[in-house]
Structure 1
């Protein structure tokens, strides 16, 4: 008697636990297919093209910088298989049990009718109704539901399909190039095309005595891959002799000079072979005299007469 008294509440508790926990209703497995591409960096190098000749005879030079990368590209076919199921929710049994009973009766009737119709009814009527009905009548199982189904990854399969080498060459765009001139180092930026415009009469070089520098050392480094490159440019003895004089012609105060001295500066830069610098100074002086038409006209006539330069009339611009 004592044992029966203990076993009854234990059995009731187990039954209640089974009722609450229930079982998941397994659904057909689902598969996903995709292609995955894996790119592995094999080599990364940087290159500095200082151009020709390697000896600077003019203060300006366009230096091209680019980076090259080599990748191993591998394509994979990926298949993921998922186990799908309908999670158990006890409260759904309140309507699934009576609907299940109806479905079983309807399914039995459909099978009887199907015999008379020589099997012309579809399986969705003769078989699915029966399956739905018995799942609904089972208090530990919910009927299948795609709308609230859940899934777990059951298997992952990757098949290697193809492997190839891929090469890229891109400009070192808007990146830093270190230029060492004598004891000074300058951080310069390339443009969007990876071109560094060196001008020994402009920028940071104008602030030091560049006439004493015989070699420019250019270096770049990518901190992410530790790739680096170096290149050098020699500054010719002739150019170094011109730089000191040219610096004074360009940067000495212009406003204290007269027209004759302005013309001398432009003419002398041209005589030194620095035609680009001569043209830039010429345009700067034309802009400086824009608000004094008489002075500007005098300067333009003197350029033509004394320096033999053909200058467009700024009034026609």
Structure 2
């Protein structure tokens, strides 16, 4: 009785083992290759270049701001290995068992032919057909199928390919810059190239008396407030003395003035050394008289005679 029970238990265990081990039909292992790059930030800073000369002599200045980063870079080649198998589905045995029998017969025949032809047939016929047939006849295993294959990650291999230090310098693009002028602070925005354009005769500085402001204090800070940079831009005494007069010459009402007063404004700005502002005002006056050819002609003539400015006659003027 005891021996018979032990034999039954051993048989059941063996069958169970065959079922569990036989359910999955293992396929060839598959590997994936990729490159992985690790970057470790070593240094992060902001750089403000106020340009030359260091002291502001003219109302306009382009300030260049860059974000500097230094990285420790390690490059790896990563290989992932996957074990592939065909999951067991019992209902497939309905057609796999007869197909397996056919495959074995065909495989045996192919091997006989292969012997006669001195091994001219490929392994996909002589060996694979028999392997497929055996798996098909096994009621606890499906025939191998790449279309139904599933996979599990078996292991990962990493090989270091390179290790170097990488430095980057990117413009502080479209980002805020705090500019302190005396007791007032203004937030300006850089352009896409990281350039901050300062014009003391334009908003927001045009509304402020800068005659007692000796310098502009510039401050930039990243979004996480982890890095910041400061710079100062001194204003020359000569420039501070010109700003009030230049502001009046540019912004006082033009429509009530005579041509001679317009020309005087342009000439005076030029005499103050503010040539860019003089040219801008000149173009504004020419555009303003575009619909009055006679007045525009008088303006151009007076600019040439009284201010010594040679201005090309616009195509729309006659």
Q: Same fold (TM over 0.5)?
A: yes
Secondary structure of 1:212's aligned partner: coil
Structure-1 separation of matches of 2:108 and 2:252: 109
Partner of 2:87: 87
Q: Deviations over 1:97-134 (max 9, x none)?
A: 11222333444455566666666655444433332222
Q: Which residues of structure 1 form unaligned runs of 5+?
A: 1-10
Partner of 1:301: 301
Partner of 1:7: none
Partner of 1:44: 44
Q: Deviations over 1:23-53 (max 9, x none)?
A: 1111121122222222222212111111122
Partner of 1:268: 268
Q: Contact (CA 8 Å) 2:290, 2:316: kept in 1 or not?
A: no
Q: Which residues of structure 2 form unaligned runs of 5+?
A: 1-10
Structure-1 separation of matches of 2:226 and 2:269: 43
Corresponding position: 1:231 with 2:234: no
Q: Deviations over 1:242-296 (max 9, x none)?
A: 1111111111111111122212211221221112111111111111112122222
Partner of 2:130: 130
Partner of 1:210: 210
Secondary structure of 1:98's aligned partner: helix
Instruction: Please report how far the alpha carbon of residue 218 of structure 1 lies from its aligned counterpart in structure 2 after TM superposition.
Output: 0.9
Q: TM-score, normalised by structure 2?
A: 0.86
- Across the aligned residues of Structure 1 and Structure 2, the Cα RMSD in angstroms comes to 2.8
Q: TM-score, normalised by structure 1?
A: 0.87
Secondary structure of 2:44's aligned partner: strand
Structure-2 separation of matches of 1:113 and 1:271: 107
For 1:1-317, what aligned pairs fall within 5 Å after superposition?
23-111=23-111, 122-224=122-224, 226-315=226-315
Q: 1:21 to 1:274 in 2, by over 3 A?
A: same
Q: Deviations over 1:4-29 (max 9, x none)?
A: xxxxxxx99xx99x989961111121
Structure-2 separation of matches of 1:176 and 1:154: 51
- Count residues in correspondence: 307
Secondary structure of 2:67's aligned partner: strand
Q: 1:118 to 1:272 in 2, by over 3 A?
A: closer
Structure-2 separation of matches of 1:306 and 1:117: 110
Q: 1:310 to 1:109 in 2, by over 3 A?
A: closer
Q: Deviations over 1:181-228 (max 9, x none)?
A: 112222222223222221100121112112232110111111147221
Structure-2 separation of matches of 1:70 and 1:276: 40
Secondary structure of 1:203's aligned partner: coil
Structure-1 separation of matches of 2:217 and 2:38: 38
